Chain A
Amino acid sequence: MNLFVWINDVFLKMTWLYDSVGTVLGWFGLTHDSVLGAVLHFFLYDTIKIFILLSVLIFTVSTIQSYFPPERSRRILGRFKGIWGNLIGALLGTITPFCSCSSIPLFIGFTSAGLPIGVTFSFLISSPLVDLASILLLASVFNWKIALAYVVVGVLLAVFSGTIISKLHLEDQVASFAFNKPAFELDEETLTRKQRVSFAVDAVKDIVRKVWLYVLIGVGLGALIHNVVPEPLITGLLGQDKWYSVPLATLVGVPLYADIFGTLPIAEALVAKGAGIGTALSFLMGVTALSLPSMVLLSKVVKPKLLTIFAVIVTIGIMVIGFLFNAFGLGLL
């Protein structure tokens, strides 16, 4: 076994955890012969794995993120024109920390600094959709090829949607106060190493507090899908040969609000039971990229026409990605 496979199995897939959970359940007579045993095995293994990965990943990622506060991203973005602005915006979106309750100040902070709204949208789309932690999590649940493919299409979706929004010249669709120059100039703060560590520790606590319930619900649903829902039902509705599976998964996912940590176990179980990989990714992207709560927030600065265009473009993009993965993605599994 080569080193890479070993590292992957031990640290990302945690095969040892899978085996030990199975052994412990075996002591209680709960083997895979019973539905309860199988459900518990999936639930316990996935919950423990996700919380371990979540803590380690968020800590590492937040430390990297502490070097890219939105103030710095805004300054970097000011240097790029046209589609490069969208591309860099999408890439910075993957590493800039921001909580959803800050999306409006961030939106205004970008536009008031003179950044094109398309660039801001590229940033806002990629930020929840593709983050560093989600890449490693996808590699753990599926594999590296899927994780990298996900990142590439996620960033492309953000660049593409932002570019269209730029081309449509919808500046009049943004509340006028968003263009006002702020009355105050802020100094960019520099952090000491100790402050970065405490920033990262706070981020781990904050995110665990925010997502633990979603993770438990997600893993619970995943365990049920994995072991209780009959396979023909999944393949019939969501199989990769069913054209309607992608729109169905996308439209179910879009209004839902959850983050990638809670959604992945569901996607994992769906794929294991015969859903298309594109179908599962569409669901995942629909849940993370768009949600009713975030739309309500955005509606405070963005008028309905632009909001609708934004939602429609992203939804169509997610479906296109789903169809492409179902058509060509099997080789990745």
Chain B
Amino acid sequence: MIIKVLGTGCPNCLKLEASARIAAKELGLEAEIVKVTKIEEITAYGIMRTPGLVVDEKVVSYGKVLNPTEVKVLLEKVSAPGRLSGV
């Protein structure tokens, strides 16, 4: 799983990145966390409010500084179908 945090480096983006790290760790996910700071790349995802959170190239949240629990909910939602098909 690749988790991208979109943001030009404002304090809110750093907070979201920290939340994402904690959430991935607590869920025991093999996730690579990538920071996207280039404005061209950020806007290519179509978001108008930073920070944005992208999981496996899908925008799951934007304009919100999520806490670790909120990120966990989103990650579980995204990764749930994968787990089922793996069974």
Contacts and interface: CB of A to CB of B under 8 A. Distances in A.
Contacts of B12: 99, 101
A101 B48 CA distance: 11
Nearest to A98: B49
Give the interface size class of chain A: 20 to 34
Judged by DSSP, the binding face of B is loop
Interface string A85-107: 00000000000001101101110
Contacts of B43: 104-105, 108-109, 112, 177-178, 180, 182
Interface stretch (A34-42, A66-74, A143-151, A214-222): A66-74
Interface string B44-66: 11111110000000010011010
Given A186-B59, A186-B62, A105 B49 contact: yes
A90 to B, nearest CB: 18
A101 B46 CA distance: 16
Given A101-B8, A101-B12, A106 B48 contact: yes
B75 to A, nearest CB: 18
Contacts of A33: none
A74 B48 CA distance: 10
A319 to B, nearest CB: 32
B49 A104 contact: no
Contacts of B8: 101, 104
Contacts of B50: 101-102, 105
A172 interface: no
Given A101-B10, A101-B12, A185 B46 contact: yes
Contacts of B63: 69, 102
A99 B62 CA distance: 13
Interface residues of B, number: 19
A178 B42 CA distance: 11
B87 interface: no
A184 B45 contact: yes
B39 A300 contact: yes
B56 to A, nearest CB: 13
A71 B48 CA distance: 7
B49 A106 contact: yes
Contacts of A180: 43-44
B40 interface: yes
Contact of A184 (B48, B49, B59, B65): B59
Interface in A177-231: 177-178, 180, 182-186, 202
A32 to B, nearest CB: 42
A106 B49 CA distance: 7
Nearest to B8: A101
Interface string A56-70: 000000000000011
Given A182-B43, A184-B44, A184-B59, 17 more contacts: A70-B49, A71-B48, A98-B48, A101-B12, A102-B48, A102-B49, A105-B42, A106-B49, A108-B39, A109-B43, A112-B43, A182-B44, A183-B44, A183-B46, A184-B45, A184-B46, A301-B39
Q: Which 9 A-B pairs rank lowest in CB-CB distance, beginning with the nearest? A: A182-B46, A109-B48, A101-B10, A108-B43, A70-B48, A184-B46, A177-B40, A106-B48, A102-B49
Interface of A: 69-71, 74, 98-99, 101-102, 104-106, 108-110, 112, 177-178, 180, 182-186, 202, 300-301
